[in-house]
């Protein structure tokens, strides 16, 4: 049976996209190689934060279905690839999932189809990596089928912006490809932003996240010397953001995490070095600053314990919140991981609490989960707020702790409280 669109990759990006298209009345097929994900979705159960099981059940009732059978993709008019692109060991993008998805699409490609890549990558990927594989069967992009790039802009946990009201950037291999992609997204996205081509659309995503990466690094470095100068950076930022133009507030923290900020700018830096032979110094410096924030937090933790005549070795340290952002269960690239590992390497006994995480992947054997954060904070030598979930009454937790280190600038100042 023909379907309007098939979404390849049903994670944090693909599933909200499929939901938006389904709600707009399109017939949508989901494709994923994970049989458990497919079975769960077909049973009406969600595996991502932004969609509840009720949302998935509603999608199913509207005709959405998931499959692991690539042959079913041939019935779709539009194929959207939204698979992960993590970093490879050399610092560039790992395109193995993209390559696998493109090969799957190529085997099912037919005249008249629209193929869109949404996975974040370096400029040139759509034209140099995707297009040759799709054209190897004899069809030509821009003539026999349409090809475009549209960067994903999903912000997990954002209550204000989702797939429908976040403007969609689209860039096609030809102007006709751009219009085909714009027409598709225009059925369920409020605003479409066209670029000159695929490279401009690919670069737009990297610019967005490089901008954030560099500005976060700026305030992280300021946090260090403001502490040494006895200046309250949080108060400084609050004052600066009162200016109605020319300033956007960014905030320091224990590091950066998630699927974008720690990864995407490195695609650009790696591509600049590989193609042009010189460094993208802003990105590389920002990466250095942000990557060393967990080490800085450990040094501050040592100083805080010294105030109580304690050493880090042998002390119990409680980490509150181990996801990469508040109010979601996503642990990808969370700075809590290197922070915990460094604390452990210094001899600390690490405990953690997170209302979103029952088992901390990769650290479950080294960090003990506590059920009652208030009781654990009262017993621990040091409590570190790493991520401020809405479930936390932070002032109460800080008030009952032996010593409390706030890396998010949310605790009311007081004795035995340290702030980044």
Q: Please give the positions annotated as active site.
A: 260
Q: What is the DSSP letter of 185?
A: H
The DSSP letter of residue 153 is -
Rounded to whole angstroms, the maximal C-alpha distance in the chain is 74
- Quick check: helix, strand or coil at residue 77? strand
Residues 177, 184: Cα–Cα separation, whole Å: 11
Segment (H or E) for 148 = strand 146-149
In this structure, is the dihedral angle defined by the CA atoms of residues 69, 70, 74 and 76, taken in order, positive or negative?
A: positive
The DSSP annotation for 279-297 comes to --HHHHHHHHHHHTHHHHH
Chain centroid, CA 346 distance in Å:
29
332: its two tokens: 């990808």
- Residue pair 6/114 in contact (Cβ under 8 Å)? The answer is no
CA angle 111, 113, 118 (to 5 degrees): 145
d(CA 12, CA 120): 13
Helix residue ranges per DSSP H, 188-263: 198-228, 233-240
CA atoms of 400 and 377, how far apart (whole Å): 7
Q: How many degrees, rounded to 5, is the angle at CA 53 between CA 52 and CA 59?
A: 95
User: What's the residue count for the chain?
Assistant: 420
Token pair belonging to 401: 């702790």
For CA atoms 311, 312, 316, 320, the dihedral sign is: positive
């Amino acid at each position: 049976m023909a379907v309007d669109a098939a979404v390849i990759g049903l994670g944090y990006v693909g599933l909200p996209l499929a939901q938006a298209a389904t709600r707009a009345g399109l017939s949508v097929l989901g494709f994923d190689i994970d049989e458990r994900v497919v079975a769960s979705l077909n049973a009406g159960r969600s595996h991502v934060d932004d969609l509840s099981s009720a949302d998935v059940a509603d999608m199913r009732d509207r005709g959405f279905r998931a499959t692991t059978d690539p042959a079913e993709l041939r019935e779709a008019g539009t194929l959207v690839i939204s698979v992960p692109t993590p970093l490879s060991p050399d610092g560039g993008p790992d395109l193995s999932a993209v390559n696998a998805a493109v090969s799957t699409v190529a085997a099912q490609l037919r005249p008249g189809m629209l193929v869109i890549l949404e996975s974040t990558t370096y400029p040139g990927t759509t034209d140099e990596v995707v297009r040759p594989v799709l054209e190897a069967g004899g069809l030509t992009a821009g003539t026999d089928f349409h090809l475009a790039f549209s960067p994903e802009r999903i912000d997990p946990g954002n209550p204000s912006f989702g797939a429908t009201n976040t403007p969609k950037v689209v860039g096609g291999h030809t102007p006709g490809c751009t219009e085909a992609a714009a027409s598709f997204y225009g059925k369920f996205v409020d605003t479409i932003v066209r670029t000159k081509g695929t490279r401009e659309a690919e670069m737009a995503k990297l610019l967005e996240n490089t901008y954030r990466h560099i500005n976060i690094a700026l305030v992280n470095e300021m946090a260090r010397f403001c502490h040494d100068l006895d200046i309250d950076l949080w108060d400084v930022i609050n004052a600066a953001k009162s200016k109605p133009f020319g300033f956007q507030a960014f905030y320091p923290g224990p590091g950066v995490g998630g699927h974008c900020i720690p990864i995407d700018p490195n695609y650009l830096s790696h591509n600049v070095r590989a193609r042009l032979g010189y460094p993208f110094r802003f990105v590389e410096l920002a990466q250095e600053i942000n990557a060393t924030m967990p080490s800085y937090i450990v040094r501050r933790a040592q100083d805080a314990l010294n105030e109580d005549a304690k050493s880090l070795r042998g002390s119990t340290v409680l980490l509150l919140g181990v996801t990469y952002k508040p109010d979601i269960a996503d642990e990808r690239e969370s700075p809590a991981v290197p922070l915990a590992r460094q604390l452990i390497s210094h001899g600390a006994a690490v405990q953690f609490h997170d209302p979103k995480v029952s088992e901390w992947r990769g650290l479950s054997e080294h960090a003990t989960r506590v059920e009652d954060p208030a009781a654990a904070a009262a017993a621990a030598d040091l409590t570190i707020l790493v991520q401020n979930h809405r479930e936390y009454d932070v002032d109460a937790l800080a008030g009952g702790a032996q010593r409390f280190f706030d890396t998010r600038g949310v605790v009311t100042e007081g004795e035995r409280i340290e702030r980044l």
